[in-house]
A and B are shown apart, each in its own frame.
Chain A
Amino acid sequence: QLQLQESGPGLVKPSETLSLTCSVSGGSISSTAYYWGWIRQPPGKGLEWIGSIFYSGRTYYSPSLKSRVTISVDTSRNQFSLNLDSVTAADTAVYYCARRRASALDCWGQGTLVTVSS
Chain B
Amino acid sequence: QSALTQPASVSGSPGQSITISCTGTSSDVGAFDFVSWYQQRPGTAPKLMIYEVSNRPSGISNRFSGSKSDNTASLTISGLQAQDEADYYCSSYTGSNNHLFGGGTKLTVL
How far, in Å, is B87 (CB) from chain A's closest CB? 8
How far, in Å, is B5 (CB) from chain A's closest CB? 11
Are B99 and A49 in touch, CB under 8 angstroms? yes
Q: Of all chain B residues, which has the CB nearest A100?
A: B99
Interface residue A60 (Cβ < 8 Å from any Cβ of B): yes
Q: Of all chain B residues, which has the CB nearest A108?
A: B45
Are A111 and B45 in touch, CB under 8 angstroms? yes
- Chain A's interface: helix, strand, loop or mixed, by majority? strand
Are A96 and B36 in touch, CB under 8 angstroms? no
Interface size class of A (residues with CB under 8 A): 20 to 34
Are A52 and B97 in touch, CB under 8 angstroms? yes
Among A35, A48, A104, A110, point to the contact of B36 (Cβ < 8 A): A104
Among A47, A62, A110, point to the contact of B104 (Cβ < 8 A): A47
Among B89, B97, B100, B103, point to the contact of A60 (Cβ < 8 A): B97
User: CB-defined interface of A58-74 with B at 8 Å, one 1/0 digit per residue?
Assistant: 00111110000000000
Are B34 and A60 in touch, CB under 8 angstroms? no
Interface residue B86 (Cβ < 8 Å from any Cβ of A): no
Are B52 and A105 in touch, CB under 8 angstroms? no
Interface residue B46 (Cβ < 8 Å from any Cβ of A): yes
Are A103 and B36 in touch, CB under 8 angstroms? yes
Give residues in B with beta carbon < 8 Å to A: 1, 3, 32, 34, 36, 38, 44-48, 51-52, 57, 89, 91, 93, 96-104
- 10 interchain residue pairs of minimum CB distance: A103-B34, A104-B51, A60-B97, A108-B45, A104-B36, A46-B104, A47-B101, A49-B99, A103-B93, A46-B103
Q: A46-B3, A47-B89, A104-B52 are known; give 20 further A-B pairs, CB within 8 A.
A: A39-B101, A46-B102, A47-B38, A47-B46, A49-B99, A52-B97, A60-B96, A60-B97, A61-B98, A62-B98, A63-B1, A102-B51, A102-B52, A103-B34, A103-B51, A104-B48, A105-B46, A108-B47, A109-B45, A111-B45
A-B CB contact pairs (8 Å), 7 listed: A47-B38, A60-B97, A96-B45, A103-B34, A104-B52, A105-B36, A108-B46
